[in-house]
């Protein structure tokens, strides 16, 4: 396996749960687009040598100008899996390890990127960052009645970046029609073991308006702390 690490960034979502008109990846956080923050974090990792971004199809040129010449930008697709698939195809042939990272996780620390890459390079074929679940989770039926309460201590909330041996992710994407909501779900379907590592609180996904408020507040707090140093 080549040890060269590349990253793909699905950034073509509409951001319907966030609302607000502007495509979510381009929404500013403390004045700079979320996508730019996510890409800079990937590039800050000593491991990542190529970044491919899947942008909203009508905004490929705009996104290219925001990110600059060092980042490859391709048109995303209708679903997240379509965007990831197109970006995977644009990676250099000698990339052996792939990190898939949501543009919508703009405050992810570079240390988490390094931890995921390091674990794949150490021999784990698939690695995902996770956090313990803090709410009790219920499984319900179509009528909203509770069917079951899974044991919370065995549940984890999953973040990105998710890291994979490239050959395995390529094979997994042959089954991308499966009803999964993350890349690791496709790899699990192959029977390949997926390893979890501790995630980071700041790597939360900006999904709803309250997440944007939280992200702005965290950035303001960290800027204020820097000013005090």
Ligand X SMILES: C[C@](O)(CO)[C@H](O)COP(=O)(O)O
Which spans of this chain sit near ligand CTP (rule: CB under 6 A)? 10-18, 24-25, 54, 76-80, 83, 102-104, 205, 207
In this complex, which beta carbon is closest to ligand X, that of residue 7 or of residue 182? 182
Closest by CA to 129, choosing from 101, 169, 103, is 101
- Residues linked to residue 33 through DSSP beta bridges, in sequence order: 28
64, 205, 211, 218: which one binds ligand X (CB under 6 A): 205
Residue number of the CB closest to ligand CTP reads 13
For 149, residues 6+ apart whose C-beta sits below 8 A from its C-beta are 136, 137, 138, 139
Q: Does 158 bind ligand X (CB under 6 A)?
A: yes
With binding defined as CB under 6 A, does residue 101 bind ligand X? Answer: no
- List Cβ neighbours of 212 (8 Å cut-off, separation of 6 or more): 18, 27, 29, 206
d(CA 167, CA 79): 22
Reference 79, options 18, 27, 170, 13; nearest CA is: 13
> Of these partners, ligand X, ligand CTP, none, which one is at the site of residue 181 (CB under 5 to 8 Å by kind)?
ligand X
56: nearest Cα among 33, 31, 28, 24: 24
Residue choice 108, 120, 160, 169 for contact with ligand X (CB under 6 A): 160
SS3 97: strand
Among ligand CTP, ligand X, none, partner that 4 touches (CB below 5 to 8 angstroms by kind): none
Tokens representing 139?
């499984």
Residue 182's binding partner among ligand X, ligand CTP, none (Cβ under 5 to 8 angstroms by kind) is ligand X
User: In the complex with ligand X, which residue's Cβ is closer, 15 or 33?
Assistant: 15
Does 87 bind ligand X (CB under 6 A)? Our answer is no
Cis-peptide, bond into residue 161, ω within 30° of zero: yes
Q: Which is nearer to ligand X, 80 or 124 (CB)?
A: 80
Judged by CB under 6 A, the number of residues near ligand X is: 9
Shortest Å distance, C-beta 74 to ligand CTP: 10
Q: Is residue 67 classed as helix, strand or coil in its secondary structure?
A: helix
> Closest CB to ligand X among 84 and 97?
84
Tell me: does residue 102 bind ligand X (CB under 6 A). Answer: yes
CB of 123 to ligand CTP, least distance (A): 28
Alpha carbon distances (Å) from 151 to 33, 133, 144, 148, 197? 38, 10, 19, 10, 20
For binding to ligand X (CB under 6 A), which residues are involved? Answer: 80, 102, 158-160, 181-182, 205, 207
């Amino acid at each position: 396996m080549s040890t060269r690490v590349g990253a793909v960034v699905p950034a073509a979502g509409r951001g319907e749960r966030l609302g607000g008109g502007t495509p979510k990846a381009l929404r500013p956080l403390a004045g700079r687009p979320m996508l730019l923050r996510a890409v800079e974090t990937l590039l800050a990792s000593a491991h990542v040598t190529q970044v491919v971004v899947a942008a909203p199809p009508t905004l490929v040129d705009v996104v290219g100008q925001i990110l600059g010449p060092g980042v490859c930008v391709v048109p995303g697709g209708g679903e997240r899996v379509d965007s990831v698939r197109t970006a995977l195809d644009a990676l250099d042939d000698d990339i052996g390890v792939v990190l898939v990272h949501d543009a919508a996780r703009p405050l992810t620390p570079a240390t988490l990127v390094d931890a995921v890459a390091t674990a794949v390079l150490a021999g784990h074929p698939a690695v995902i960052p996770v956090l313990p679940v803090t709410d009790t989770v219920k499984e319900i039926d179509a009528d909203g009645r509770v069917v079951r309460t899974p044991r919370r201590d065995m549940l984890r909330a999953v973040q990105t970046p998710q890291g994979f041996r490239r050959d395995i992710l390529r094979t997994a994407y042959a089954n991308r029609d499966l009803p999964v909501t993350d890349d690791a779900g496709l790899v699990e379907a192959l029977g390949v073991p997926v390893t979890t590592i501790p995630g980071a609180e700041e790597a939360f996904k900006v999904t709803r308006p309250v997440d944007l408020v939280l992200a702005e507040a965290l950035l303001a707090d960290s800027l204020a702390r820097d000013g005090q140093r």
